[in-house]
Amino acid sequence: MAVTINATAGDASANSYITLAEADAFVDAMVLSTDANKWSSGNIDSRNRALTAATQRLDRERFLGARATDTQALQWPRTGVRKPDTYVNTYATGFPFRISDDYFTDTEIPDQVKRAQIELAVYLHSNVDGISLGGLEDFKNVKIGSLDVTPDKSGAVGADRIPPMVERYLTGLRISGPGNIAIKRS
């Protein structure tokens, strides 16, 4: 059965933050890469599946704020989330001030979330085996000289990780993650 995209913000049956047309336009503007070429040559159903899979993975993140409604299917739109980088430094006073329009609205999906979804969808579409990062997250140890590093055969370490580019897009929108530091009091 073919997958149909519903990118209506706040809808109870939404399964994507962006439409296929929006994703295609973004990919067309990307620097040419093997992944972008595979995306463009893929059929509509495979690209829709990649978009919904990327949405499902992003929705497992813990975002700031709260869902805008109880009936929406996806994590976004959210209420009470401040837009990253909304402080402006004024040289006249020397103090930063708040821009009055510095929170996401209850119907707004941040561009960072949309771009993260597109990047992850293109990645998943090109890597049919799923997310497989080639970094040190897949190792218990690596031996270099007297340093001994052992691979982690369980697959648990990097099993739910997302590519670093996707991580960067989510900086400032999540409760925890590489871009945010959790502080615990003892």
Residue 168 exposed, middle or buried by CB count within 10 Å (0-12, 13-18, 19+): middle
Mean pLDDT in the chain?
79
- Rounded distance between C-alpha atoms, residue 56 and residue 54, angstroms: 5
3: pLDDT strictly greater than 80? yes
Is there a domain that residue 55 lies in? yes
Query: What is the number of structural domains in the chain?
Result: 1
167: pLDDT strictly greater than 80? yes
152: pLDDT strictly greater than 60? no
- Give which of 73, 52, 178 is closest to 120, Cα–Cα: 52
pLDDT in the model for residue 127: 74
If one compares 33 and 14, the residue with the highest pLDDT of the two is 14
Q: Summarize the confidence of residues 2-20 as an average pLDDT.
A: 96
pLDDT (tens digit per residue) in 75-129: 999 999 988 865 555 555 556 555 556 889 999 999 999 999 999 999 888 876 5
Is there a domain that residue 38 lies in? yes
CB atoms within 10 A of CB 153: 8
For residue 115, the enclosing domain spans 20-64+109-169
Is there a domain that residue 30 lies in? yes
Q: Where would I find the beta strands (DSSP E) of the chain?
A: 66-67, 78-79, 87-89, 96-98
Q: Give residue 138's pLDDT band: very low, low, confident or very high (50, 70, 90).
A: low
pLDDT in the model for residue 93: 58
Q: Is the dihedral of CA 95, 172, 29, 105 positive or negative?
A: negative
What percentage of residues in the chain have a pLDDT greater than 90? 44
Is there a domain that residue 12 lies in? no
- Give which of 166, 186, 74 is closest to 178, Cα–Cα: 166
Is there a domain that residue 87 lies in? no
Is there a domain that residue 11 lies in? no
CB atoms within 10 A of CB 12: 12
Lowest-confidence range among 23-27, 36-40, 152-156? 152-156
Is there a domain that residue 186 lies in? no
- Rounded distance between C-alpha atoms, residue 128 and residue 133, angstroms: 13
Residue 111 tokens read as: 């561009």
Is there a domain that residue 135 lies in? yes
pTM above 0.85, yes or no: no
pLDDT (tens digit per residue) in 38-64: 888 889 999 999 999 999 999 999 999
What are φ and ψ of residue 180, in 5° steps?
-125, 150
What percentage of residues in the chain have a pLDDT greater than 70? 66
